[in-house]
């Protein structure tokens, strides 16, 4: 600021218009403003980043190892898995107590193991909370089980954090306008027709009249060729 000769002057908000470009200094050298200024040295940045990546990879490897251990402990084999292993077509095989299908680990019908895999691929430390499509893509790289897509959908819909931070793309619903409560019986009614019914004494439909105040019901048998005038007569004669 020492290069400028200026005087501070208060300008009201209404009269404070855009800055006049002609009043700006046109020979300001900004090329070397941040020369020799470094907030974080390259070595420290590389060391920290490398350490964080190593920790994340180590954690992921340990988690996958624990999941494989749980799968090995589960000795139950589904009927479809047993049949696929007997085929011997090379698409399904068993290795060290783990069944592989199409090159991916087959997860047995164990709720605890599935939830652990879903949690691991949803609550990601480096990418945040994954959506349904990203979770499906991540899990299908390594694991496979029937109903995987539906399980992912239910897990994401049940995630509290996802529901709290989810962006709503729909229009806001309007206010509810409940019907006014009638002040007395037979002031407001509803009329319905039950049809078709087997004929009985020439009648094949039933007109149902309900009082909205006391919920009293009136039933009247009639025919299918009844018109609005006939329903009005039923109301007049029975109410």
Do 234 and 151 lie in a common domain? no
Contact between residue 239 and residue 207 where contact means Cβ atoms under 8 Å apart: no
CA distance 117 to 115: 5
Angle at 213 between CA 209 and CA 218, to 5 degrees: 20
Contact between residue 196 and residue 183 where contact means Cβ atoms under 8 Å apart: no
Do 71 and 118 lie in a common domain? yes
Residue 114 belongs to what domain range? 45-165
Is the pLDDT higher at 221 or at 179? 221
Do 64 and 160 lie in a common domain? yes
Condensed to tens digits (0 to 9), the pLDDT of residues 46-82 reads 555 555 555 545 555 556 778 888 888 887 788 888 8
What value does the mean pLDDT take over residues 143-149? 90
| CATH number of the domain residue 123 falls in | 1.10.340.70
Do 161 and 193 lie in a common domain? no
Could you tell me how far CA 193 lies from the centroid of its own chain? 41
Residue 94 lies in a domain: yes
Do 49 and 138 lie in a common domain? yes
Do 155 and 87 lie in a common domain? yes
Do 121 and 156 lie in a common domain? yes
Do 52 and 144 lie in a common domain? yes
Condensed to tens digits (0 to 9), the pLDDT of residues 162-214 reads 878 777 777 888 888 888 888 888 888 889 999 889 988 889 999 999 998 88
Do 204 and 97 lie in a common domain? no
Q: What is the pLDDT of residue 20?
A: 57
Do 125 and 197 lie in a common domain? no
Do 96 and 145 lie in a common domain? yes
Q: Give φ, ψ of 67 to 5 degrees.
A: -65, -40
pTM confidence score = 0.46
């Amino acid at each position: 600021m020492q290069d400028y000769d200026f005087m501070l002057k208060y300008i009201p908000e209404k009269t404070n218009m855009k800055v006049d470009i002609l009043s700006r200094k046109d020979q300001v050298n900004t090329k070397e403003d941040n020369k020799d200024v470094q907030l974080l040295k390259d070595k420290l940045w590389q060391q920290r980043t490398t350490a964080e990546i190593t920790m994340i990879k180590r954690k992921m490897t340990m988690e996958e190892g624990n999941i494989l251990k749980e799968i090995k402990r589960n000795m139950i084999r589904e009927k479809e898995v047993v049949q696929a292993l007997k085929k011997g077509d090379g698409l399904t095989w068993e290795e060290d107590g783990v069944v592989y299908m199409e090159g991916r680990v087959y997860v047995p019908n164990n709720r605890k193991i599935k939830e652990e895999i879903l949690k691991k691929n949803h609550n990601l430390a480096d990418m945040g909370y994954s959506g349904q499509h990203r979770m499906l893509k991540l899990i299908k790289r390594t694991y496979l089980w029937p109903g995987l897509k539906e399980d992912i959908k239910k897990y994401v819909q049940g995630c509290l954090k996802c529901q709290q931070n989810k962006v709503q793309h729909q229009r806001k619903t309007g206010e509810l306008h409940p019907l006014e409560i009638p002040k007395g019986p037979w002031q407001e009614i509803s009329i319905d027709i039950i049809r078709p019914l087997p004929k009985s004494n020439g009648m094949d439909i039933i007109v149902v009249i309900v009082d909205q105040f006391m919920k009293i019901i009136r039933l009247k048998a009639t025919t299918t060729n009844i018109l609005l005038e006939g329903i009005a007569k039923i109301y007049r004669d029975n109410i």
